[in-house]
Amino acid sequence: MTPPGGYFGGNVYLTLINQEAGVDLYLNYDGKNIVPTYGTKMSVKTGLEFILTVVPKENSYNTSFSFDYSTDGTKNSDAKIFIAL
């Protein structure tokens, strides 16, 4: 999650880079439901709330997944998060 005040405008980009076979993933934002696929870059407009739902398959313990994420918003250098760093 981008810290509040950290960036102005732009989009948040999510790319699924790892998903074990024992889990299904669903991304919901702005009334859209998307099933993320490996390597596909998804875009969410900054300021919109998004929900990532993770559903383990029956009797499965292989439920790990990972995303790469970035933003193209303009950095707010005065934001508390950056001053603290």
- pLDDT > 80? residue 2: no
Whether residue 41 is contained in a domain is answered as: yes
User: Phi, psi at residue 6, to the nearest 5°?
Assistant: -75, -35
How many Cβ atoms sit within 10 Å of the Cβ of residue 14? 20
The range of the structural domain enclosing residue 50 comes to 9-71
Whether residue 82 is contained in a domain is answered as: no
Please tell me the pTM assigned to this model. 0.67
Whether residue 65 is contained in a domain is answered as: yes
Render 24-52 in DSSP notation, one character per residue.
EEEEEETTEEE---TT-EEEEETT--EEE
Mean pLDDT throughout 51-75?
A: 88
pLDDT tens for 4-54 read 667 777 888 889 999 898 999 998 988 888 888 888 888 888 777 888 898
Q: H or E stretch including 14?
A: strand 11-19
As for how many domains the chain has, the answer is 1
Whether residue 79 is contained in a domain is answered as: no
Token pair for 14: 């999510």
* CA 10/CA 72 separation, integer angstroms: 5
Whether residue 49 is contained in a domain is answered as: yes
